[in-house]
Amino acid sequence: MKKLIVSFALMVITLASYAQVYKMYSTRNYHNQLRLNTMTGEVQQIQDDGQSWIICSAREISGDKESRFCLYETQNMWTFILLDSYNGRLWQVQYSTQDLDNLFCIPINKDELGSDNEKCIFSIQPLTSMYQYYLINDNTGDMWKFQWSTKGDDYRWIEKFK
C-alpha cells in the first residue's frame, strides 16, 4: 500500500511540473483559447469543440527554460504579441475562426537584443495607440518602441530610444 501511495504521489508531482510548461490564454472569442508552450514559444489555438491548430511552431528548439515566452493581449481581439523575454524577440500572433489562412505568426523583431540571459529580462508595456508598445530591458533600462500591424510588413517596426 505504501508503494502505491508513493508511486501515486510521484506521478502527481511529475504531471504538475509538466503542466507548468503550458499556459492557457483566454481570448475574447469565448469558443477559443491559446495554449503557449512557455519553453519553446509554440502557440496553439484550441476551440471548445476539440479542434486545434498550431499558429506558431517552436521558436526555441532546445526549450530548456520555463517561462521564457509569454503572450500579451492587444486591443485587437484577434492579435497577441509573443515575447521571448530572454532576448527581446517579438512576433505578432493572430488566431482566427474563419479559415486557416488568417492564422499567422509574423516576426516584429528578428534580432536578439540581449544574449546569454539566464532569466527573463524583457517586458512590454502598451502605449496610447493600440498598435504601439514599449519593449523594456528590465536590467539595463534600455527601451525600444515597436508597432504591430495587420496591413503588412512595412507597418511593423521596432526602434531603440537613444
pLDDT tens-digit profile of 112-156? 887 766 677 899 999 999 999 999 999 889 999 999 998 988 999
For residue 19, pLDDT beyond 50: no
The Cα 34–Cα 77 span in angstroms is 12
User: What pTM value is reported for the model?
Assistant: 0.83
Residue tagged 521558436 (cell numbers): 59
Which candidate, 20, 48, 37, places its Cα nearest to that of 93?
37
For position 3, what pLDDT does the model report? Answer: 61
Helix, strand or coil, per DSSP, at residue 149: coil
Q: What is the CA radius of gyration of the chain?
A: 18
Q: pLDDT tens digits for 22-47? A: 999 999 998 999 999 999 999 999 99
Q: What is the mean pLDDT of the chain?
A: 87
Q: 114: exposed, middle or buried (C-beta count within 10 Å: 0-12, 13-18, 19+)?
A: middle
The Cα 155–Cα 10 span in angstroms is 50
Query: Are the C-beta atoms of 18 and 11 separated by less than 8 Å?
Result: no
